[in-house]
A and B are shown apart, each in its own frame.
Chain A
Amino acid sequence: MAIRSAFCWFFAVCWLLTVSAVGAEEATFKLTIRNHRFEPTELMVPAGQKIKLEIDNQDATPEEFESYELNREKVVPAKATVVIFVGPLKPGRYPFFGDFNKGTAKGVLIAK
């Protein structure tokens, strides 16, 4: 009974979120992961507005996009593109990194 109602909740929430996901268009910026590095390593974005990041992982292994400053964390599976929304940001530098390849996968978002 408890488990069944949990599943009902789960699907209801999934459905609601899917329906409400059809939103407005934001300015889109692209990041590519290749050989466990981000390209570009410095990405300029406008401050003061919500922006959409498209992260394209061209490697054969998964990566995790992470930024403490942006309070964001997201797995980017191998050969997949994911979307992540950030902001509106105050002007400044927002470093990010690949949690699965910390040595090489580093970059910074610069909001102006």
Chain B
Amino acid sequence: MNTLDASKADFTRKAFSNIGKLVTIIIVTIVDVVLAWFAFKLFSLSYIPIGICIILIIAMISIAFLVPKAHMFKWMALGLSAWLLFSIFPIIYTIYNAFTNYGDGHLISQAQAIEQIQAQTYLPETGKAYQWIAYRSESKEYLLWLKDAEGNTKLVTQVDVEGDAEIPLVTGENGIGEIDADGAPVTIDGYTRLNRILASTDKNLTNIKFGDPEKTIQVRSPSEAAELQPLYAYDAEANTFTNQLTGIVYTDKEGTWTSRSGETIIPGYSAVIGIKNFVTFVNSPGLRGPLVTIVIWNFMFATLSLLLTFSVGLLISIIYGDPKFKGKKLLRSLLLIPYTIPSLITILIWRGMFNPQFGVINRVLVSLLNIAPNWTTNAWLARTALLIVNTWLGYPYWMLVTSGALQSIPHDIYEAAQIDGATGWQQFKSITLPLLLVSVGPLMISSFIFNFNNFNLIYAFINGGPPIPTATTQAGYTDIIISYVYNLAFASGRGIQYGYASAISLVLFLLIAVMSLLQFKFTNMWEEVGENV
């Protein structure tokens, strides 16, 4: 009986597993088809890189679910897809941008730029011409009747007014009245036919584009209207534009079509310019000058923040770690409060408190000492304020971490030290601190990295200010690299410089990567991967 049951169960199990496999195949196929459609759409909009990303994801999902040997990748297929799209791809894209001039004037692709330049037109002084008569409505909308040299007539509407480009010239339709000997409507309902004098005094008329947007027609003179001609002729082989009016040839120089005398056509496109961004950042004093200040302050800020938060936190856990100390629990809860509020909110509160005119800090200082330090316009005061706020934000973390770490230091070491006559300070210096540093060292590195990139604080508290006067881009005395980069990419008014910003990002990333590797070495994380549990 038992064996029969077992084999029955085995059979059901196998059947289920086969159905399961079939269902898997069906679901994976559906997902793949949907993604393939998505990728196709992306490609057709010429979003090539992200399309390739989707193709990679399709491949990964198919392999993970359909190849039995790759079964472990099933577990991570979704996570890795999200990771690929929103962690890896942005980094690759940033690295790529670092070597381009992507930014103001170079925001579009080459194909788009060519298309836009080709759309620029001019009104030729000679060439195919039409006789014309204009009709004007009450609301200043115009219709234009045209007759070419062969005697063909048509009635066209304004390009910028919605609706058909051309209205058929049939009496009785669309309000068109009698047609005169020339073939022009005598009347159109709602419109006044303009005679020569009226037409020549109408200032709008010569600026209006009529007809098919592809073949725009404009009034050239009282007697003639003409089709607009493309201003630039593109030579695809040489990749040059020739101005049809002046005959000047513009050649492609790193994404900008430039004439020999240095004139350029707008827009340019985003082109690979090699290491130029990096060279600029070394050579240009307006950019390099502030960057030196910013890098020095960045390291100072991260180091001082770490030292201050760590010392205050450690001090608290040493003094109040004593189990005999009454009210320890209440104290800890109160001291933890800064940590329980989203940091952006507290940063904004501190910003109000540090307001030089109205803030509570200066009001207290004025009434006590009669001084009102200007926390926002003096570089060192602003930096001091930032460090105070950051200490407030960060000490609870170190209070928690060090109080845990201190408890794990065995008591007998201290007892032995006391017998040897070591003072409290000696004990702290030669027992507590070294042992503590071993256990919390890695956390110190990650805290350093965190503060090194503490964008939220710098940005929300003071937005990098006060400004550095010699800087050619937006840069301030409290800016750290990451906030400087952000402003380069996004600050309004001074021009967007994605390429340059990406180049600095790349340098910053290398800095961070070195620090992280250091941290991994300390934490033995590398070894942990290797262990063969």
Same complex: no
Which residues on B are within 8 Å of A, measured CB to CB?
none
Footprint of B on A, CB under 8 Å?
A: none
